[in-house]
Every structure is written in C-alpha cells, then in structure tokens.
Amino acid sequence: MHLGTPWGLEVILYLFLAGMGAGTITASASMLLRGGGGDGQYFSIARYGALVGPFPVVIGTVLLIFELGRPFRALNLYKVINLSPMSLGSWFLAFFIVISILYALLFLPWPNWHGERMSSWRRRIAWICVPSGLSVAIYTGVLLGAMPARPFWNSPIIAMLFMISAISTGMALIIFTRALFYKVHLDVPTEERSWHGSGYVLAATDVLLIGFELLVLFLLLMFAHLTVGSVKYAVEIILPGGELAVLFWGGVVLLGLVIPGVIEMFFVAPKLLYGGHYTAPRSIDIVVPLAVMVGGYLLRYVIVMAGQLTGPVGL
C-alpha cells in the first residue's frame, strides 16, 4: 500500500461487498415484482438473490467496523442523526441489513404460513428493498464524492457509477449462484427450458447493465477532460501512461465489462434478434459473472487509490 493512502483493503472491500449485496437485493426484489410475486422463472431468480444478498453487506460492514481500530466506536454514529453522508449512510446501511435479512427469511419454508400469505409479504418487503438497496448502492459513491479535497472523487458521476456497478455485480452474483446450485435434469425438457429461459432474462439484463456502466465511465472521463484544474490533472492517473492505467483499462474496462458483455451478447443475440434459443452453457454462467465481480472490485480499488494518490489539494 502506498504511503499516504490510509484507506486500504478493508474500505475497498466494504465498498465492493456492500454495493454488490445492495445490488443483489435490488435486482432480486425487482425481478420478484416484475413476475408479480408468484412462482415461475422470475421467482426463481428472486429467491437466489434474496438468499445470498445479505451476506456481502454484512461481511463488508463488519470489515469496515474493524477497520476503525476500535469496533465499538462505530456505535457513536447512531447517537445522532444529521445530514452528513456518514450519518445518513450509517442509518441507511443498518436499516437495509435488517430489511434484507427479513426479505431473505420470507423465501424460506415456514410450516404455518400459507403460500399466498408469504407471497403477499414478499411483495410488500420487495417494494421497500428496491429504494433502500439503491440508497445503499448510491451511498458508497456519495461517501467519496463528499470529499472536495480529493479531486478524483469530487465528481457527481461517481455515485451513479457505483450504483450501476452495484446492480451489475449484484446481478452477476445471482447468475453465479444460480449456475452453482441450479439442478438441471436432462430428461425433463421443461426444466431445461426453465434453465435457459431464466438464463436469458439474467444475461440480457446483465448486458444492459454493462452497457450503462460503460456509458457512465465514458461520462466520468469526459467530465474530467472538460474540467480545468485539479480534476483534469487527477484523472490522468488512469489514462494511458498513468500509475493505475493498466488496472483500469485492463482490469475494469476489458476484463470486467467488455469481455463479459461481448460473451453474453453472443448468446443473447440469437433470441433478441430473431427469436432463437438461448443456450449458454453452465460454464459461461460461472466464468462471466466472476469476471464482472472481479471488475467491480477493481473499479473500487482504482477509484479509492486514485483519489488518495492524487490528493489532497487546496489544503
């Protein structure tokens, strides 16, 4: 770790895990609402996301608490409520952890709960999960953008970038989990069609999210290029020749976005363009999401390190 970069691995992992977990729950709840809350391919997707989503958020939060040095010091954040990003973010995070765990519990079989009663509660909690998940995903970017002394972070686009990346990595986590645990019986054609049907929905959505993330990255670079002074200087660290250029262009853009997007589009295009069949093998649904998640982690690493290596200024 470089001298003068107090925010290290714990903070980077927190930003990545909390964002990915929030994106997973947001994607799960959105899919559940899209399918009306009943059984079917959307419910299957929502269940995978609901059951795995809380874990990254909790793990990331624990890492952040211990990064403070004295874990119980984090409780001081809940003694007051104000409009500072740290205070609001702490309350959003605590609320989201509770609501995401409750959402996950509603996908477990409870002997005394009727199916329609469970579906009703799932839909109600899902409506809460979507805005609260988006709030946590945005907050991880707002936390950095609220530091004007760090020019690389001082961009309104960082929050949007982190939100899109959170949903993209969250969707990737759902695809990865589904590929690991979905049981396909080759002698039952309907289940095979269910695998490919839900796989198309996930892959097509992921391609769309990757496209949005590339667009937001382009806007981030354009914003910095058209700005004079310290912001324009700071972004040079990720441009060709910069200290973090290889990680950004090779890890974030190429490995985490372009390659997964091209591979998924190869399998999505036949059905999208002329109504063909989506037939991506399970190996693709393992390797591609892993690449997206690695790219999501590298994105946080590059942005956190770039902000520290190019600042502070004006102090």
pLDDT in tens, the chain (315 residues): 454 566 778 889 999 999 999 999 999 999 999 887 666 678 889 999 999 999 999 998 888 777 666 655 555 555 556 666 666 767 788 899 999 999 999 998 766 665 677 888 899 999 999 999 999 998 878 878 767 677 888 777 888 999 999 999 999 999 999 999 876 544 444 444 445 567 888 999 999 999 999 999 999 888 887 776 677 788 889 999 889 999 999 999 999 999 999 999 999 988 888 877 788 888 999 999 999 999 999 999 999 998 888 866 554
**Do the domain assignments include residue 1?**
no
Evaluate if pTM is beyond 0.85.
Answer: yes
**Do the domain assignments include residue 304?**
yes
* Domain of residue 169, CATH code: 1.20.1630.10
**Do the domain assignments include residue 300?**
yes
Predicted confidence at residue 3, as pLDDT, reads: 45
Q: Which residues of 95-112 are buried (b: 16+ CB within 10 A; e: fewer)?
A: ebbebbeebbebbeeeee
Residues 6+ apart with CB under 8 A from 280: 196, 199, 203, 264, 267
**Do the domain assignments include residue 61?**
yes
User: Which of 86, 26, 88 is closest to 56 using CA atoms?
Assistant: 26
**Do the domain assignments include residue 66?**
yes
301's tokens: 């690493």
**Do the domain assignments include residue 297?**
yes
**Do the domain assignments include residue 2?**
no
Domain count, the chain: 1
**Do the domain assignments include residue 4?**
no
Domain of residue 222, residue span: 9-309
Alpha helices in 35-187 (DSSP H): 41-52, 54-67, 85-105, 115-145, 157-181
Predicted confidence at residue 52, as pLDDT, reads: 96
